Structure 1
Amino acid sequence: MWTQKFGKSDVESGARPLYPMMLESPELRWAFIRKIYSILSLQLLVTIAVAAIVVSVRPIAHFFTTTGAGLALYIVLIITPFIVLCPLYYYHQKHPVNYLLLGIFTITLAFAIGLTCAYTSGKVILESVILTTVVVLSLTLYTFWAAKRGHDFNFLGPFLFGAVLVLMVFAIIQMLFPLGRISVMIYGCVASIIFCGYIIYDTDNLIKRYTYDEYIWASICLYLDIINLFLSLLTVFRAADS
């Protein structure tokens, strides 16, 4: 009731809504959006810093890839983000536990990304970073522009979910029965397109559907979209470079 009343008076006073049929105050929604992107920016900076240390300090990658203890720890680092997601989903509205779990999630995932990039050429990493940055900024600006004109991307949800399932099955097949460099490039290209769709879908949800208490979960969704897009492009460039 308060939100509807606030939104109505705001529209009557001449403020321009963020998207058509908006009932809340644009100032409240913009504050929420700024909070999300502040958290997301910090996540990305931490990821870049941790991954850069892992890539530049060669003994770290050497320990994880050549020793039994390192390999075991590498597996722990890979599965930890997925384990942390469970309590994070439950505590995502409880401060400061949500920030603590978010930090663990981001750092462990950043470490795993760094190990993935450790034996990749700097040229391939740079190409993937540049293209990821350009695509994310372009799709974000496009989604805000489209939302302001009444476009809705909620219909993408079921299609993207089905596409991710296909990707997972294809990845399992690729691990069991390697199909060669061309198939890896195709997989990376298809995955890149799918996660581009997810960036649009989750940005649209950020603008219209997430409540003010879901800032942690919204940040995680966009963070995973960007990381998966980067890893997909890395797969493409690495296969092309080999």
Structure 2
Amino acid sequence: MKTPLNQNNDLEAGAIPLLYPSMTENPELRWGFIRKVYAILTAQLLLTIPVAATVYLVPPIAVFLVETWLGWALKHMIIITSLVVLFAMFVYSKQHPLNYMLLGAFTICEALMVGLSCAFTSGKVILEAAILTAVIFLCLTLYTFWAARRGHDFNFLGPFLFSSLVALVVFGVIQIVLPLGKMTHMIYGIVGILVFCGYIVHDTDELIKRYEYDEYILAAIDLYLDILNLFLKLVEVMKDAESSDNA
């Protein structure tokens, strides 16, 4: 539960600046929550990188998952497991330590799929996409904290981003059934990049203002998925650009 400021803790809270002008909760508690979320997010990324790198650097793993029936079945089992675990995390997000166990399983599943998505991509593209993802995430995070401090609110982005995400999913399905040209595919990837940049701003704003203190798992998942999807869209666009240059 959020703790409002009162006369007894004004002096204590006054030592820590407000995150946004209309803030009524104790800033120290909110900063503690934010630090916890980013610590969890960092742990997820530190787990994701070696798992994804293993899939990428050991080609037989990707070949097995893509070119064999057993691997195909295992790949789809990983996807289904990831979705089931994600649903379970929403249900049990406040039950410790089960929430952390589910988060670890979800992170491993996502890391395997990220590694597989990058398996047949050049190392140059992967490195450039990783650097761009880190820079974009850092810049958008700092901007959102700066904007919130000055009274800006990004909650209005929610409906637009959700509608855009649904449109991206539908368009992706259409591309599977009716493949379009390379230029259209690149535009689709660029739109995806913009959508997930918007989600980083929106979810960071939610982290600053609206998440309850016991929703740290949900907050970390949102930011983690924003980062992964942004990275994969950057890889997709840069891969298309590289193939166009080589054509």
With the shorter chain as reference, the TM-score category is over 0.9
Q: Shift in Å at residue 45 of structure 1?
A: 1.1
Distance 1:2 1:158, change over 3 A: closer
Counterparts of 1:7 and 1:229 in 2: how far apart (Å)? 44
Q: Shift in Å at residue 15 of structure 1?
A: 4.0
In structure 2, what is the equivalent of residue 211 of structure 1?
212
Distance 1:7 1:79, change over 3 A: farther
* Contact 1:8/1:23 (<8 A) preserved: no
Q: Shift in Å at residue 11 of structure 1?
A: 7.6
Mapped pair 1:240 → 2:241: yes
Name the SS of the counterpart of 2:212 in structure 1: coil
Task: Give the alignment of 1:218-233 within 5 angstroms.
Answer: 218-233=219-234
Name the SS of the counterpart of 1:16 in structure 2: coil
Q: Shift in Å at residue 8 of structure 1?
A: 6.0
Counterparts of 2:8 and 2:215 in 1: how far apart (Å)? 20
Counterparts of 2:219 and 2:195 in 1: how far apart (Å)? 18
* Contact 2:3/2:26 (<8 A) preserved: no
Mapped pair 1:181 → 2:170: no
Moved more, 229-238 or 71-80: 71-80
Counterparts of 2:211 and 2:111 in 1: how far apart (Å)? 26
Task: Normalising by structure 1, report the TM-score.
Answer: 0.96
In structure 2, what is the equivalent of residue 56 of structure 1?
57
Q: Shift in Å at residue 114 of structure 1?
A: 0.4
How many residues are matched?
242
* Contact 1:7/1:24 (<8 A) preserved: no
* Contact 1:40/1:223 (<8 A) preserved: yes
* Contact 1:136/1:226 (<8 A) preserved: yes
Task: Give the alignment of 1:139-154 within 5 angstroms.
Answer: 139-154=140-155
Read off the aligned partner of 1:241 and give its amino acid letter: E
In structure 2, what is the equivalent of residue 36 of structure 1?
37
Name the SS of the counterpart of 1:3 in structure 2: coil
Task: Give the alignment of 1:112-151 within 5 angstroms.
Answer: 112-151=113-152
Q: Shift in Å at residue 16 of structure 1?
A: 2.2
Counterparts of 2:75 and 2:8 in 1: how far apart (Å)? 50
Distance 1:6 1:159, change over 3 A: farther
Mapped pair 1:195 → 2:205: no
In structure 2, what is the equivalent of residue 73 of structure 1?
74
Read off the aligned partner of 2:182 and give its amino acid letter: R
Task: Give the alignment of 1:102-121 within 5 angstroms.
Answer: 102-121=103-122
Mapped pair 1:170 → 2:171: yes
Distance 1:30 1:201, change over 3 A: same
Counterparts of 1:114 and 1:181 in 2: how far apart (Å)? 23
Task: Normalising by structure 2, report the TM-score.
Answer: 0.94
Distance 1:7 1:86, change over 3 A: farther
Counterparts of 2:30 and 2:242 in 1: how far apart (Å)? 44
Name the SS of the counterpart of 1:4 in structure 2: coil
RMSD: 1.6
Counterparts of 2:88 and 2:7 in 1: how far apart (Å)? 34
Distance 1:6 1:106, change over 3 A: farther
Structure 1: segments with no counterpart, 5+ residues: none
Per-residue deviation, residues 28-63 of structure 1 (Å, max 9, x unmatched): 111100000000011111111100011111221121
